[in-house]
Amino acid sequence: MAIGSIRKKDQGPIRPSWSRHSQANLRSQGQPDTFSRSEPQQFPQLQGRIQVGGHLLKDPQHSQYPSSRYEIRCYAPGPEGAVRSLSVEELVAAQKGPFQSELSFGVSPDSGRPRRSDESIGRIVPKDHSLRIDSIDMQYQHSGVNRRYFQQLTQVGAIENFQVRGLVEAHELEEADKNLRQAGCSHYQLSPGPIGAEWLEDYSEPLLGGGRVVPAPFSGGLQPLLESLGEARGQRFQPHGLSGDFSSQGSVQQGGYQRIGGSQAMVYGEKLYQAQSYVEGGNMLSGQRADGTPYLLVGQDSMDLTGALLEKKLGRTPSPEEVRQTVAGDYGVSTDQVFGIEQPGAFHLDMRMTSLAPGVIGLQDSPLAARLQTEWLAQEAPLSEADQQRLDRLAAEADQAARYEALTRRDLEKAGLQVVSMPGAFRNLAKVNIDGSNFFNGRHGTNPQGEKYTILMGGTAKQEEYLADFLLGQGHLQVDRLYFLDPEQNGQTLGQHGGLKCRTKPHGQV
């Protein structure tokens, strides 16, 4: 059975001629605003310590105020379902203080040693709001998506009190530091490390209390992995009349990117373990239920690949319980809280779902996203015949995607989780198997003062306004602040089947 190609670093961006995610007239840090309109209201923020300029989302002049036109848009819940748009510039200015950058030297990569079957290790760092983030790791680049996200995350870090830690080639450390200082950035640290692909989310998992786990290598290289995956997808999807021909697991195996996780462990003085399972980080969501019980959601692709590894080791087909025990041992959770979740028509879970609250998962509703996208496009200009043909393809693609999403919902509900359907991924109409915007692939955390926040990729003004109202106004996302980053990066990063979460890795404690 053929399956789609894995994510590649050198795949060119899909031109956004029909993704419509661009927001015209957004301005960057330090640039003056050509509009004279000022924010009409002041709102208490940071536990009431400061007053920040802003306005209500429902204000008819919403798009013309400075907070709506800045490179980072920030929203906060108000009383009775109101949503407030806040000035990020004022939030940053209120928190900024003297800053001394940090540079580290002298690191060599390692792939770690295999975890013993009887060895207990710490629990995986959660990927929901229970994590009190102290730092977010990225590969720093001098241009492109990672540089833009790095700079913007330092602004959010100044507000929420976390540091952005960049891996950069050793001979470029001082130049990178100079560029960041000139851009007005603070709250960052730079360290040397091997530069490969940008997808740090996939390469390793930090553990609470210290330590780091990298996926097990697949003996024989990439081809055995792809063969095992193709066979497993066929067995799972064919009874439902569905195809497993979408993007594949395997990028960590193909690139040997466990070494990048190893270099992070060396930089930060962490003990490194090699898992007995093969789970790429984007295909695993760790979180806590309302009663504090940790859980682990693992895409069924990764459960099946782990089963294939165990079969080689044991010389027999492992039971589902043995597969769960292996994953549980690798990531420090109870076996009965490890759940295999069917792939939602995407190669990683984090492209179609995210945590909204303890025990609550937001899951993509492709038909609703397609209907909204069609409605918004029709409002912009009359649709041509060619436009309508593209939208018809979008609707057909959405109906097919909904069949995968139904299987995913089934597994999430079996895991005892509440599922909220939401339009969080909008397709690029020039190529409907690529996202134009994605609001699942973000980061959640809590700051040292106990305030919760979420950082998402950006989208069109209509998309962001809809999501801000859905998440904050309707109470689906219980946070103090919701951030949207630069939508101009979507074309390049989503054209490579990855987003903000894929490029970052947070650390902290619960």
Structure letter (DSSP) for residue 25: T
Strand positions, DSSP E, 185-253: 188-192, 205-206, 212-214
Euclidean distance between CA atoms 440 and 475, whole angstroms = 17
- pTM of the full structure: 0.93
Enumerate the domain spans of the chain: 16-22+98-509
Among 415, 414, 211, 206, CA closest to 296: 415
Q: What is the pLDDT of residues 396-434, one digit of tens each?
A: 999 999 999 999 999 999 999 999 999 999 999 888 889
Q: 71: pLDDT confidence band, cut at 50, 70 and 90? A: very high
- pLDDT for the residue numbered 30: 79
Taking residue 439's Cβ as centre, other Cβ atoms within 10 Å add up to 28
Euclidean distance between CA atoms 508 and 510, whole angstroms = 7
Percent helix, strand, coil in the chain, to 5, is 40, 25, 40
pLDDT over 60 at 104, yes or no: no
Taking residue 28's Cβ as centre, other Cβ atoms within 10 Å add up to 14
Chain position carrying tokens 């996202």: 435
181 residue type, one letter: R
Q: What is the CATH number of domain 16-22+98-509?
A: 3.75.10.10
* Average pLDDT estimate for 387-394: 92
Q: 156: pLDDT confidence band, cut at 50, 70 and 90? A: very high
C-beta of residue 241 within 8 angstroms of C-beta of residue 366 = no
Q: 266: pLDDT confidence band, cut at 50, 70 and 90? A: confident
pLDDT over 90 at 337, yes or no: yes
C-beta of residue 416 within 8 angstroms of C-beta of residue 359 = yes
116 residue type, one letter: R
C-beta of residue 480 within 8 angstroms of C-beta of residue 177 = no
What is the CA angle 456-457-462, rounded to 5? 100
Euclidean distance between CA atoms 186 and 180, whole angstroms = 8
Q: What is the pLDDT of residues 465-491, one digit of tens each?
A: 999 999 999 999 999 999 999 999 999
Chain position carrying tokens 């089934």: 410
